[in-house]
Structures are given as C-alpha cells and as structure tokens.
Amino acid sequence: MGTPMSDAQPSTASLGARHLYPNYGQPPLVIERGRGSELWDDRGRRYLDMYAGIAVTQIGHAHPRWVAAVAEQAAKLAHLSNYYYSAPNARLAAALAARTGFTRAFFCNSGAEAIEASLKLARRHYFSRGDTARDCVIAFENSFHGRTLGALAATGQAKYREGFGPLGGVRHVPFGDIAAVEKNLDPSVAAILVEPIQGEGGVIPAPPGFLKALRQLADEHGALLLFDEIQTGVGRTGTFLACEQSGVLPDVVALAKGLGGGIPIGAMLCGEDLAGALPPGSHGTTFGGNPIASAAALAVLETIDEEGLLAAAEQRGAQLRTGLDALLARYPETLDQVRGTGLMQALVFQRPDQATAALTAARESGVLLTLVGGLALRFTPALTITEQQLAEGLELVEQALKAIV
Ligand SMILES: *Cc1c(COP(=O)(O)O)cnc(C)c1O
C-alpha cells in the first residue's frame, strides 16, 4: 500500500498469524514440501508424517502416478461443472461401483458435503414416495460428521455444536446402545447415520455386532442406514470400506478424505433403489467431481490396486499395533489402551495433559500426529508408509514419551 518494502519479508508464520482467520491455532511451523511419508519445513527439517493431513494423503505426498494424473488433467481440462460428462468423472463413478457394489455416485468437495447429500437423500427418498413425516435422523453421541449446519446437527459432540444452534432434525443416542436406537425408531425416522469407527471422537470402533444390529433395525422400521466412511474408507483399515469387515452393507456410504489423495473430493454412494430420490435439479454443486479431482481419485484407486495397498494397510497396521502395544506395556502409568484397526489407530493416554504434551513432544522429536477425543494420539499414516518409516516413527514416539514422563 505504498509503504516501501523492508529488506526482511514478513515470515509465513507471521503473515498467517496476522491474516488467516484464527480458528485453527497453528504452531509456528511452516511445511514446505513432502514426499511419501516425509515432510520438510521451511528450515529444511525433516518430519515423519504419521497423520497424512488427517487421513487424506492416502498414497503419500507427491506420488509420481498421482502427480502425473493431476498435471495431465490440468493441462487438458480442469473444470466443466456438471452440465456435461467428463471421462475422469464417469470412470471414477464406475471404478467405485466396481469396488463397492454401489452403482451410483454423487460427487462433492468435502466430507461435510457428502454427509449433507446423504441426509438430503434420506429425507427426499421418503418425500418422493409421499411419506413426508420422516424428517428425523438417529445419530450417535461422540460422533463427528462435519461442520456445515446439517452435518453439525448430526455431529454428537458439544464442543463442535456449542454456539451454533438451533441444530435440528437429529436424535443422538449412545454409540453402541442398540436398545436406545430401537427406542427412538419411530415413524419420523428416515435414517440412522453411523461411523464404523468413530474417528474424531477418539478412534473408537463400533462394538462387535452393533452395525449388524443397526442393519436389522433399519430394515424392520423401513429406515435407511447411512455409513460415514469419510475417515475409515478408501483402504484405511485394510479393506476398501471398513464395513466390509463387519459383513454389513449400508444403503448409503459417504466418502471424502483419502479419496482424492490430497485434492478435495467427496462422494455419496448408493444403489439403484435410491437413484430416484434426488431427481435433476434437486441437489448439486458447481465443483463436485471436477475433472482434476476425479483424475486424482482415479490415480489413488489405481495405485491402491497396483501397489497392493489394502494388504499393506493390514500389514503395516499389524506392525503399528505391535509397536503401540509394546509402548502400552512399557508406560503403564501414562498410557491407558490402544484402539483401532489397520492404519487408523490410537494410543490412548490416561490424562488429557499427557496426551497434549506427547503430541508436542512427538513433533519436537520429528513425527507429526493428531490428537482426538482429548486423550487419543491418532496414527493415520499414508497406506504407502514403509516398514522402516513406521518403525522409525514408533521409536520417535517412544522418545517423546520418555521426554514427558
Ligand atoms: C473429516 C470427517 C468429516 C468431515 O469432512 P470434511 O472434509 O472436513 O468436511 C465427516 N465425517 C468424518 C467421519 C470425518 O472424519
């Protein structure tokens, strides 16, 4: 603004602190580039990436196949809106159908939007059949479904909801409490929405038999069953969808996070029976499934197949579990338990201050993780993380534990 620039350009951290909306509270750490499961900051310091941008960079940073797919598509056609078909988008829908059995995909740009689409589909499905009384959804306490008002209404944690009311149309019951679900299943219920493993809530798997019981209840009461696989999906737990491991198929699946490998894309998948619920004009989005995002997601799916990343998630997941169990055995005064499956696991602390201190100490020792549910240090590395990198990460976490106890 006319003021002469001084020699010293303001640092990224100071610009961010001054001009970014302060809703995140970042530490003054600037990450400049990544490769696989490694990140480097602007001073050249290397970090092991054990969180993958919140379970997003599913095939690691800058995977050559993904980089080529995105660059080629950007040079060809970046955006179209959904007025016309594009090859990457149609091929992605078919590839998801081949993997999941759900023949229809609606694409959007985030997890919250995939949940919005699922909730809107559930309501409009009954509306389109003349049943206008089904305006309610059952969701679970401690769940996380996103931050838009509809997804937030479904989210069952006070810390996300506080101050944003009114948030309506959802009844929350305790996670795992099948009797409470049954009690709340009246003719106003259009759907039951559930995460197979609660992610942001602290990496808490549904108790054995719970998803199956939900399927049964939903069928008996004519309600839809919606799975939020935004965090558990795209191979994270060792199968393409986590629900495959429970043998339960929902009516609708929401995907996002890992699907684009770092380019924003979300998806709502369903079968032919629900294809009429949202007729042309009733729902949509400008960017949803744009050619670049779709090409990125196709590259993720092809890489998962070609590099055997479902098996890798299972094998590395077993290595992670062994390592975390060993830490649990060595630090019984600090740690409480290990939870999760595949490459979505958590080391649970006894006290929140220990968990916070461990997160910071881990970063200082060179490994990036996230904290969920106040007590759980969450591990969601790329499915491509190597055996050595995982071993190194576990060693660095142990150093961090030594530093805080
Ligand atoms: C991250 C997440 C969401 C929200 O996704 P956004 O892309 O942040 O909107 C919803 N549900 C689950 C289970 C998630 O992990």
- pLDDT tens, 120-158? 999 999 999 999 899 999 999 999 999 999 999 999 999
Rounded mean pLDDT of the chain? 97
Q: Which helix (H) or strand (E) holds 113?
A: helix 111-128
Enter the tokens of residue 130. 């003349």
The set of protein residues with a Cβ atom below 6 angstroms from ligand 1 is 110-112, 115, 144-146, 195, 199-200, 228, 230-231, 256-257
Residue 11 CA to ligand 1 center (angstroms) comes to: 31
d(CA 35, CA 388): 15
Residue 148: DSSP 8-state: S
C-alpha distances in angstroms, 35 versus 48, 379, 394? 10, 18, 19
Q: What is the set of active-site residues?
A: 144, 228, 257
**Residue 279 CB neighbours (<10 A):** 10
pLDDT tens-digit series, residues 220-273:
999 999 999 999 999 999 999 999 999 999 999 999 999 999 999 999 999 999
Mean pLDDT, range 329-333, rounded to an integer: 97
pLDDT-derived band at 2 (thresholds 50, 70, 90) equals very low
Residue 114 CA to ligand 1 center (angstroms) comes to: 9
- The pLDDT assigned to 6 comes to 54
Which of ligand 1's atoms lies nearest the C-alpha of 115?
10
d(CA 316, CA 385): 8
Q: What is the pTM of this model?
A: 0.97
Residue 253 CA to ligand 1 center (angstroms) comes to: 13
